Each structure stands twice: as C-alpha cells, then as structure tokens.
C-alpha cells in the first residue's frame, strides 16, 4: 500500500473533508494562537487531535474547524495520510 502525506494550514473557519484518508491530525500551535474547535472538540494550545483508521479503512468525515476569539492568530495545522492511487 502506497501513501502520501498532505500538510495543510488553515486560518479561517471551514469544513475539512478527510477525502478517504487513513489518518488525520489537527494541531493548535503552542504560541500566539486563538482557541480552535474541531467538530466539537476543543484543542488547547500545543494540543493535537489525531484520528486513525483500522488497516484498510478510509475516513470520509467532514470535520468543522472553528476559532474562538483571542489576541492571537487563527491557526490550525492539518496532516492527512492519504492513499496514493
């Protein structure tokens, strides 16, 4: 099985489609970042939410990223492990 890794950065509230990935993670930077919520899960500064599928399974979820108010910047890094078809 061949995979490719996508590293993405978001600063606006939006839905992120997992597009059949095998794993996806959402990270809020440790410094200067506003609160981040991923589909109802609050990320603390420096925290990562990682979701992995069983071998052979694909994730087709649409995750909602929202940002809370604060003095920092809206920042959320998303890493997806995708099938390389």
Compute the mean pLDDT over every residue in the chain, rounded to the nearest whole number: 95
Main-chain dihedrals φ then ψ at residue 83, nearest 5 degrees: -65, 140
Spell out the domain ranges in the chain.
3-83
The predicted pLDDT at position 3 comes to 94
pLDDT-derived band of residue 85, with 50, 70 and 90 as boundaries? confident
Tens digits of residue pLDDT in 21-69: 999 999 999 999 999 999 999 999 999 999 999 988 999 999 999 999 9
Superfamily (CATH) of domain 3-83 = Jelly Rolls (2.60.120.10)
Please state, in angstroms and rounded to a whole number, the distance separating the CA atoms of residues 77 and 85: 24
């Amino acid at each position: 099985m061949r995979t490719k890794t996508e590293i993405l950065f978001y600063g606006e509230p939006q839905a992120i489609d997992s597009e059949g990935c095998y794993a996806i993670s959402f990270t809020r930077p440790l410094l200067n970042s506003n609160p981040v919520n991923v589909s109802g899960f609050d990320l603390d500064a420096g925290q990562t939410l990682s979701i992995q599928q069983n071998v052979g399974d694909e994730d087709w979820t649409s995750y909602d990223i929202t940002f809370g108010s604060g003095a920092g910047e809206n920042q959320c890094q998303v890493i997806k492990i995708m099938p390389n078809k």
